[in-house]
Amino acid sequence: MIVVSELRKQFSVRGNTLVAVNGVSFAVGNSEVYGLLGPNGAGKTTTLRMVMGLTEPDSGWVEIGGTRTDTDATGIRHQLGLISTNDGVYPWLSVREMLMYFADLYAVEPKIAESRLEELAELLAIGSFLDQRCSTLSTGQKQRVTLARGLMHDPPVMLLDEPTRGLDVVGSQTVFQFIELLKARGKSVLLSTHRLDEAERVCDRFGLLHHGTMRYEGTLGDLREQTGKTHLVDMFIELIREDRVGQTTLGKSD
């Protein structure tokens, strides 16, 4: 389980203060997929960077398994797995070498790493090219290797940042199956995506950020009750429309 409590981060931009994230809190349980969503500039990237320990919050903390970012940011990173839009493979290494390298980065014992590699090779169908250089792999093969990489240290929490961007239907389906695998293994999954149709398909709960604050949170049913809208895309459009109305009102008052 991952708990995010009252994260806040502000930046100085050309002499002005920009509050990127303002008191954001949420939790993701075991075997749960949580969609962290919002329009561009909502604060998603800054929130994810604070969760990963890459950006230090001005206040607030993240906790996984009793470890908190405000006391042990390195310990938090070792309990996270990250899958992003980049294929994340090293072309000069074989698949086996690369996966074992990532296991070593997280101090996984060699025997455990070898056993985990064989298990993931079967689960993700990468066994036939384990000893090929990554530079020779197809796009789909690289994708599966990237998914395996995120699990080599068996983290309790997985962060998926735009995992289907640039993928075709087959590649996207592989990601959906991977998410089901993560749930079956009891992982807490934090998903950030612009593909709202995909989010509706795979997420158990959602958090909709806007201007750095959590505007809506809950299941899709909860969000429908809160917003009066049926689909996530309609909720997004309403948030953007609020901005435009506010800007128009401000312009008239000037």
3-state SS of 120-168 is HHHHCCCHHHCCCEHHHCCHHHHHHHHHHHCCCCCCCEEEEECCCCCCC
Q: How far apart are CA 143 and CA 178, in angstroms?
A: 11
Report the pLDDT value the prediction gives residue 86, as an integer from 0 to 100: 67
Inter-residue contact 183 to 34 (CB < 8 Å): no
Q: What is the pLDDT of residues 7-59, one digit of tens each?
A: 999 998 888 888 999 999 999 999 999 999 988 888 898 999 999 888 899 99
Query: Rounded to an integer, what distance in angstroms lies between the CA atom of residue 182 and that of residue 117?
Result: 16
Query: Cα 169 vs. chain centroid, distance in angstroms?
Result: 20
**Mean pLDDT value across residues 158-175:** 85
Fold annotation for 1-79+176-254: Rossmann fold (3.40.50)
Report the pLDDT averaged over residues 163-190.
88
User: Domain limits of the chain?
Assistant: 1-79+176-254, 82-154
Both structure tokens of 175: 């990601």
What pLDDT score was predicted for residue 194?
A: 86
User: What number of residues does the chain have?
Assistant: 254
Full-prediction pTM beyond 0.95? no
Burial environment of residue 254 by CB neighbours within 10 A (0 to 12, 13 to 18, 19 or more): exposed
Q: What value, to the nearest 5°, has the Cα angle with vertex 135 and ends 133 and 136?
A: 75
